[in-house]
Structure 1
């Protein structure tokens, strides 16, 4: 093959991944992927697939992937929140400049309740942080 493939492939899912060992030097020059484990990044659990016994290299590769995956997810959460702020600004502009009275009425209660809830959580978290530091 022209490019060297990684030794492991992680098929991501909501809370982790299925882990496959990649074998590219097969008799028929095909890429073979053998599932070796299931990973849960929320609780750190690594379950070998079937009767498989994971060696130290397998476990190290999985743990490295878990650490990198957690970092990616954390970055995405912050990015999603920043996009939400942008979206709220766009909603404000839409309501001020383009929305009809009926459209405003259709979204007002949901928006006000959501924003009130968010404000309460933000104020409470900030107050807790100030109390801890003071």
Structure 2
């Protein structure tokens, strides 16, 4: 494997791990598949990688898929005070693309995900 391909594979592995962490932290018990894909797309929009993430999440027991619905099998909980940090700057929301002067970043075990706007971070986590 070439160095470039090895780096690309490591980056894909990091995105899978981050997306799995995000799915494990969702506060919903049950979501439509499209809503779960919406959350995964904050990590990657590569359709092959999205499928890999869904398959891996099911294999690891994080989710269960059934007829277009996804049930969360392990509920996590993100404490805003501890797991969501804000930074001032010039950002674009990963979810909706809006320009932000304050970015909200999720601190997950496998890394940081963001920036999000204040309403999008709540939506991603299932608070709204």
Shorter chain as denominator, the TM-score bin is under 0.3
Name the structure with the higher strand share: 2
Report which of the two structures shows the higher radius of gyration computed on alpha carbons.
Answer: 1
TM, length-normalised to structure 2: 0.24
- Pick the structure with more helix per residue: 1
Higher relative contact order (CA 8 A, sep 6+): 2
